[in-house]
Chains A and B, each alone.
Chain A
Amino acid sequence: QQQVKQSPQSLIVQKGGISIINCAYENTAFDYFPWYQQFPGKGPALLIAIRPDVSEKKEGRFTISFNKSAKQFSLHIMDSQPGDSATYFCAASGDTDKLIFGTGTRLQVFP
């Protein structure tokens, strides 16, 4: 039972384009929604996170959009660069200590 559903599984974007990764959740008790970035051979690292009291959070080229009524949130990477090529994981947690991850999206940005 996947509590956090992530799509697409893989994404190919040209340099300068916009990368969009989507996630949907089921548990209405979730109140913390981070995105993690993972480079090959490394552990994931926090990229950006949002709580449901706001609908959008922007940090540089990275933006989280959050739709509480639809139980969906997405990551937008503006002006995508080859250095952004990595695997991205959405995640969610709520009334427990557990962070539940999506299945990951492998992003490739070509020059």
Chain B
Amino acid sequence: GAGVSQSPSNKVTEKGKDVELRCDPISGHTALYWYRQRLGQGLEFLIYFQGNSAPDKSGLPSDRFSAERTGESVSTLTIQRTQQEDSAVYLCASSSHGTQLGNTIYFGEGSWLTVV
């Protein structure tokens, strides 16, 4: 597609439920990133996929968070047993060659998650 597409755009869920957030990167982009932004905070790195390499999961805040990517296409971020502190906008981004010098990442519009 023309840009990074995320769904759902908004999600309200009850505490303790699981949620899945989806990201369709820009076609041909080998690298995919998940970030989140909680209220009043900056962009917090969660996980990074680059081609067939093992993903960099160093930013995942707990074992309730996991992400998968099918080849070089769609990615799903799953949050199990959601907590109120998980409320945030979850941003997906993609780039053509990973984080090499001069490469730019392009963000989707985000999935706004509210845990009540």
Asked if A and B are interacting partners, one says: no
Interface residues of B (CB under 8 A from A): none
